[in-house]
Amino acid sequence: MPLALMLLVAAAAFGQENELKNPHATPADAAAGAKIFRSHCAECHGLGGEGDRGPKLTTGVFFHGSTDADLLRNISDGIPGTAMPGVFFSPDQVWQVVAYVRSLSRTGSTDRPAGDPARGGKLFRDKGCTACHLVRGEGGVQGPDLSVIGSQRSVEHLRQAILNPNAQVLREYWVAKITHENGATYSGFLMNEDTHTVQILDFSRGLRSLSKRDFRKFEMDKASVMPSFTGQLRENEVNDLVAYLWSLQRQRGSQ
């Protein structure tokens, strides 16, 4: 039987799906993909795909689809409406990146935290985390929504976020500190700024639009408003909290 026909028969035997498979999946392809990954993806997904600004890519399960075809599409086109950009590589090169991304979940680095998620969930309330963080619709809004943080961050990142919040503070969580001509002071997250005005989400007054003309002082504080919990929590409590956060995984069909 000619090869093409054999492939067709094999594809038919595979059922309706007739699924697109990565034609560049050798270890050499994965190595070539790793190079591209380091220069174009690691800044957001971490050098080993452990996650950082972008989600971790090491679990083998991808929210936006886990087939080879899904990965090819999401990596070449990006994911509209999110920070995930498209890339301008040939399809062959994108397949090599797909091969590398797949290899990340085969290394057996099941990054599972040691603690107890149920105890962690209780600590999350008892230690005041809910004052600032939303989890599935409950809690405060001074910090990021943590409803699916387990799908977005590595275990190590979660631990550092608790013990050392100042290590990496996204621009949107820098705090604007403003002294008005009339002596009033404002502090909160900067929502918007143009030449003449700023909008801030003041921590005690809510959303405010202020005219720069009236400012006596205007500075940005890059420290986190989240207190460090180093010394406030025992090692096993940190583990429990991390296990709880890690358990907050995105489910398919939800945000």
Binding interface with ligand HEC (CB under 6 A): 37, 40-41, 43-45, 53-55, 57, 62-64, 71, 74-75, 79, 82-85, 87, 97, 101, 124, 127-129, 131-133, 142-144, 149, 153, 158, 161-162, 165, 169, 173, 224-226, 229, 241, 245
d(CA 163, CA 2): 63
| Cβ-proximal residues to 172 (8 Å cutoff; 6+ apart), any chain | 189, 190
Which CB, 73 or 180, lies closer to ligand HEC?
73
Nearer to ligand HEC, 199 or 215 (CB): 199
> Minimum distance from CB of 170 to ligand HEC (Å)?
6
Task: Compare residues 175 and 210 and give the one whose CB is closer to ligand HEC.
Answer: 175
Between 15 and 137, CB nearer to ligand HEC = 137
Q: Which long-range contacts (CB under 8 A, 24 or more apart) does 154-160 make?
A: 154/46, 154/50, 154/51, 154/52, 154/56, 154/111, 155/111, 155/112, 155/113, 155/242, 155/246, 156/50, 157/50, 157/51, 157/52, 158/113, 158/242, 158/245, 158/246, 159/238, 159/242
- In the complex, what is the shortest distance from the CB of residue 145 to ligand HEC, in angstroms, rounded to a whole number? 9
Least Å from the CB of residue 9 to ligand HEC: 32
Between the alpha carbon of residue 55 and those of residues 48, 58, 143, 149, 223, the distances in Å are: 12, 9, 19, 9, 24
What's the one-letter identity of residue 176?
A
Nearest approach, Cβ of residue 1 and ligand HEC (Å): 37
> Could you tell me the smallest distance in angstroms from the CB atom of residue 33 to ligand HEC?
8
Instruction: Between 97 and 178, name the residue whose CB sits nearer to ligand HEC.
Output: 97
Are 162 and 229 a contacting pair, CB within 8 Å? yes
Output the six-digit token pair for 114. 């040691």
Minimum distance, C-beta of residue 161 to ligand HEC, in the bound complex (Å): 4
- Residue with Cβ nearer ligand HEC (106 or 216): 106
Contact partners, residue 11, CB within 8 Å, separation at least 6 = 18
